[in-house]
Structure 1
Amino acid sequence: MSKEVTGDKPFDLDVVLKQLGPFGKYNIVNYALLLFPIYLAGMYASIYVFEASDIDYRCEISQCEGINESLWIDYAIPYEKYELSKCKRYQYLGNNSNTCSERDFNRTVLEQCEKYVYSDEDSAVKDFNLGCQNWKRTLIGTIHNSGLFVSLPLTGMISDRFGRKIALPIASLMNGIFGITRSFSTNYYMMVAMEFLEASLGAGAYSTAFVLAMEIVGPKGRVFGNTLINVLYVFGSMSLAGLSWWLQSWRKLLRVLYFPALLVFSYLWFLNESARWLLSKGRHDEAVEILKKASKMNNVDISDEVISSIYKVGKEDTKNKEIIADNGGTTKSTFLEALKSSIIRKRVAVCSFLWITCTFVYYGLSINSVSLAGNKYVNFMLVAFVEIPANFVCLFVLERYGRKRTLISTYLLSACFCVSLYLIRKDQKWLSLVIYLSGKFSITIAYSSVYIYVSEVFPTNARQSLLAVCSALGRVGSTLAPLTPLLALYYDNLPAIFFASITLVASALVFTLPETINVPLPDTIEEAESQSKKNKNNE
């Protein structure tokens, strides 16, 4: 809730933003600019799914290639799960004749393939001869997501120190450079190196655009702004599948998708910096100019009293910095103080696991959707599209039923839907798809809820740092998710069983956290600890 301008707090930016309106012309123009890199981020997040998609191939039988396959293929290669084996062949007896037939193969002896014949489908699997090396194929996605461990703190540091206006174009430029370079990869190792560099130096474009978008609107506009961001991100994921289907070439796909990222570099010259960030850095003159520009575009007048209060706050900030310098320039680490609390430590551990669960199941279901029966591109688009209604439902249920009940219910529903996949017959394709989409719907609500819930259980004076810890540890889930298709090689429903198991554990852990609906955000460690005590008294 916004605070009024008082003698105790001479200036509150949220009051000014409220006067400017939630979505005036200034906000619309800036949001349009910011939604473009967010849309691109929706494509970049899962592009490895179509770069190195699994394709059809079989052993190369050099002695028989060029001869009508129908005469020898069933005698040369065994069947696995009603399809020709990709990795095994029968022993060739070495007949010197120019024909291949049943008598030329020993069907009691199986051998591993040494060479492969690939289908006409396009994939890095074919270009870099990754046949029967599924660990190498899935490792591409893992390496991409591991880059987030670097990009989040690196871009955050650049953004906080030099500004959002600088961090966003630089990150987007890195996306464009390394993404396009990756399309010219001459071998597997060059590809994975570019995959890591692109993610580690460019993936922060999304988080920077998100923060800037949240900072240019008032409290009432943030919910709608967040919904817009989520919808554009989903459209990015759907566009990825559509373009992959149309282009049918992973190299062309990379060039088409990453070229627009280079255009975002031009934002350096015309994107408006965050007034909130400028004020935090003591650059009050620049902040005032941006607020005046916003008021002019929105046809709103900002009073002279508000402008003078900004400069008054600036003087007080300078005075406070001088006092700190006179005292030796040291301040107490609230982050370390918070971790001394056993209650806060427990919340960090639980919230980190909740985050890991969401990223693991969320990305795992997206990645494995291309393995469902039917058109893999349509399946991926449907699994992405279901996030749009899920985000709108999330806004409703969080306010009506609270944080704990929403999380417990959605985790349980995700587990039930994943187990249901195990019980459905393979010939019930449409039912399988509906249940799969329902599982993605549930985990999306949980994922959106976790973002809000985690920020409400930590104290203000350490909230950003503790949130960063949970978010960083949560990336373990998205890093492991690309490896889940390997589980299906051993048992078709093994990925679904893993997803169900981890969501059940997460659901149980939510019971250990306090309910935060309609509860003021805790500003101190003591207030955060008292949340648990209040919940116990209410039970």
Structure 2
Amino acid sequence: MGNLIISGDNCDADNLTFKVVGDFGKWQLWISIYMAMIKLPLAWYQLNIIFMAPPQQFWCAKPESFAVWTDEDWRQICCPKNEEHPCLIFDPEILIFELNMDRSLIPLVPCPRFVYDNSVFNRTITSDWNLVCSKHWLIHFTQCVMMWGVLVGGIIFGVVADKYGRKYPLMIGITLQCTMSYICSITTSYWIFIINWSLLAVASGGIGIISFVISMEVVGGKWRTIMPIVYQLPFGLGNAVMAALAYWLRDWRKLEFALATLSSIYLIYWLLIPESPRWLLATGRNKKALEVLKKAAKQNNREKYYDAVLHNIIICKTRNRNDPGFIAFLRSENMRLKTLLLSLNWFFTGLAFYTFSQYLGLIGGNIFLAVAMSGFIYIAGGLTCILIITKAGRKTTIYIYQVISSLCFFFIILIPRDYYANDWPRLLFAGLGFAGLAGTVPALYLYTGELYPTLGRNAGVAGVTTFARIASMVAPAVVSLDDVRPDLPLILLTIVSAAQLVLLAPLPETKDRPLPDTLDQAEQFK
């Protein structure tokens, strides 16, 4: 079953909407602000694993039989020198009687209880549920569940939003998100936490896709180039807000509760957000569309335009439209190549963005400063993207930001850790590198949308950006490579970012060129 559109020369949903409300006015401004601010909680939940499970020192708890020994002496006595983490210790029952015995003759036994360094964080999911040693993989699993849920949520809510409208699925997602966040903050079982965490992730994925669609559907003209970039900016602010809260609270449960409370403020959107008039017109709900457009026209001081197209809206009927699905692009030679290259680009972009976001805590000595600074520089990267992309074109803009990211990753590798105060040079390049990623994401999103035809653009963009979500699930494993070799994740990201420059080369520039409307036109777009 295809999507529904308005039939007749004068019944195009886009044309009718923008004839009434204009390309951009006060009505669109407020809706754009509301949708962009939704990026705050999306940043909180997609990246708060940084503060839920930060790098944290731990050691084996001292048995009562060693009470006369200091904690430091106990740690020196019990831990094998070749063990990076105290998962196995020398058998205390033998040590207590034969302290000077040859260690090679003393068997290693699992540590029965761990003690965690709480000098920076009072409580983490690592310390609450002992996610160390054989359970360490559960930290990566937690983030994988989040990103998998975001992917699934985008698909499920996207289908529901096409069928039942934008507003109600969006509000269901917001309600589910803050409710699950509250529940996550009080759960005492890791697996119950994961169940609620997955539901929160699905809600976040749905909120992300619907809010973006709304922000695109209410604006027209040049604003459809600008808004995809502006929409992304609060994501960086979300990072900074989260870092400030984490610094103040130092407890993952309190942080989660605080984020849930802030997320609950978005419930007021029930009163502030109208249904998308474009969706209402496209599905034949003309009466409801008239109500929304009348209020919008009044807010934009365009009542006279509303009266001029009123007759056309009333007589519009609907018919079926069959847009090409994602598989259709794989059957066409030119579009198959574009889709393959874009899929790889999105995978590498997602891998770099989510890996580096989680790796920030390992770059500088101050995790709060690193995350907050990256957030503010993310905003700067997005703002500069608007200026560059309108002058230099889509491909050139992506090239510029990818080169910046690659060089910054390389310089971070060269600068030794803990050599300068607060590791400020590494933090500086980390911020610049994150700015490069911040400019790459919106530019690549816009570029991707322009390479696919109008009929099937949603399917094409959704299909290739899925690979960024898949990459986000791989990101925690890449971060863990730092335990194998210091800065190994950065070496990998440097190679990946440089590889993207090669992958972009065969793709055409879209700036100042008429965009394809059909699959046939997209096939000839070179």
TM over 0.5: yes
Three-state SS of the structure 2 residue aligned to 1:58 is strand
**1:111 to 2:105 alignment:** no
User: Which moved further from structure 2: 122-131 or 458-467?
Assistant: 458-467
Residue 107 of structure 1 and its aligned partner are, at CA, apart by 7.3
Q: Out of 438, 451, 460, which is 2:454 matched to? A: 460
**1:481 to 2:475 alignment:** yes
Classify 1:305/1:134 alpha carbon distance in 2 versus 1 (closer, same or farther; 3 Å): same
Equivalent residue number for residue 407 of structure 1: 398
In the aligned structure 2, how far is the partner of 1:43 from the partner of 1:453? 27
Residue 337 of structure 1 and its aligned partner are, at CA, apart by 4.0
State the AA in 2 paired with 1:465: A
Q: Out of 324, 331, 338, which is 1:340 matched to? A: 331
Higher relative contact order (CA 8 A, sep 6+): 2
Residue 105 of structure 1 and its aligned partner are, at CA, apart by 7.5
Residue 74 of structure 1 and its aligned partner are, at CA, apart by 2.9
Equivalent residue number for residue 513 of structure 1: 507
Equivalent residue number for residue 47 of structure 1: 48
Residue 222 of structure 1 and its aligned partner are, at CA, apart by 4.1
TM-score (norm 2): 0.88
Equivalent residue number for residue 311 of structure 1: 314
Q: Out of 193, 197, 207, which is 1:195 matched to? A: 197
Equivalent residue number for residue 422 of structure 1: 413
Three-state SS of the structure 2 residue aligned to 1:452 is helix
Classify 1:469/1:255 alpha carbon distance in 2 versus 1 (closer, same or farther; 3 Å): same
Identity %: 25
In the aligned structure 2, how far is the partner of 1:52 from the partner of 1:168? 29
Residue 156 of structure 1 and its aligned partner are, at CA, apart by 0.5
State the AA in 2 paired with 1:347: K
In the alignment, is the contact (CA less than 8 A) between 2:36 and 2:231 conserved in 1? yes
Equivalent residue number for residue 523 of structure 1: 517
Residue 71 of structure 1 and its aligned partner are, at CA, apart by 4.2
Q: Out of 195, 209, 214, which is 1:212 matched to? A: 214
User: Which moved further from structure 2: 126-135 or 30-39?
Assistant: 30-39
TM-score (norm 1): 0.86
User: Which moved further from structure 2: 256-265 or 281-290?
Assistant: 256-265
User: Which moved further from structure 2: 497-506 or 219-228?
Assistant: 219-228
Residue 165 of structure 1 and its aligned partner are, at CA, apart by 0.9
In the aligned structure 2, how far is the partner of 1:218 from the partner of 1:18? 10
Equivalent residue number for residue 535 of structure 1: none
Provide Cα deviations, 1:410-453, integer angstroms capped at 9, x if missing partner: 33332232232222222142221222222222222222211011
In structure 1, runs of 5+ residues without a counterpart are: 1-6, 325-330, 533-539
State the AA in 1 paired with 2:117: S
Three-state SS of the structure 1 residue aligned to 2:59 is strand
Equivalent residue number for residue 293 of structure 2: 291
State the AA in 2 paired with 1:341: S
Classify 1:108/1:420 alpha carbon distance in 2 versus 1 (closer, same or farther; 3 Å): farther
Q: Out of 257, 273, 278, which is 2:280 matched to? A: 278
1:123-138 matches, within 5 Å, as: 123-132=124-133, 133-138=135-140
In structure 2, runs of 5+ residues without a counterpart are: 1-7
In the aligned structure 1, how far is the partner of 2:110 from the partner of 2:141? 21
**1:393 to 2:384 alignment:** yes
State the AA in 2 paired with 1:53: P
Three-state SS of the structure 2 residue aligned to 1:230 is coil
State the AA in 2 paired with 1:525: L
Three-state SS of the structure 2 residue aligned to 1:117 is strand
State the AA in 2 paired with 1:354: N
State the AA in 2 paired with 1:87: C
Classify 1:113/1:421 alpha carbon distance in 2 versus 1 (closer, same or farther; 3 Å): farther
Residue 146 of structure 1 and its aligned partner are, at CA, apart by 1.0
Classify 1:202/1:359 alpha carbon distance in 2 versus 1 (closer, same or farther; 3 Å): same
Equivalent residue number for residue 435 of structure 2: 441
1:211-250 matches, within 5 Å, as: 211-223=213-225, 225-250=227-252
In the aligned structure 2, how far is the partner of 1:241 from the partner of 1:336? 41
Provide Cα deviations, 1:485-508, integer angstroms capped at 9, x if missing partner: 210111011101111222222221
Classify 1:12/1:424 alpha carbon distance in 2 versus 1 (closer, same or farther; 3 Å): same
In the aligned structure 1, how far is the partner of 2:86 from the partner of 2:95? 24
Equivalent residue number for residue 425 of structure 2: 431
In the aligned structure 1, how far is the partner of 2:224 from the partner of 2:519? 26
Equivalent residue number for residue 184 of structure 2: 182
Classify 1:191/1:227 alpha carbon distance in 2 versus 1 (closer, same or farther; 3 Å): same
Residue 376 of structure 1 and its aligned partner are, at CA, apart by 0.6
Residue 333 of structure 1 and its aligned partner are, at CA, apart by 4.7
In the aligned structure 2, how far is the partner of 1:79 from the partner of 1:18? 74
Residue 158 of structure 1 and its aligned partner are, at CA, apart by 1.3
In the aligned structure 1, how far is the partner of 2:504 from the partner of 2:146? 30
Q: Which runs of 4+ in 1 moved over 6 A?
A: 107-110
User: Which moved further from structure 2: 200-209 or 32-41?
Assistant: 32-41
Residue 108 of structure 1 and its aligned partner are, at CA, apart by 8.0
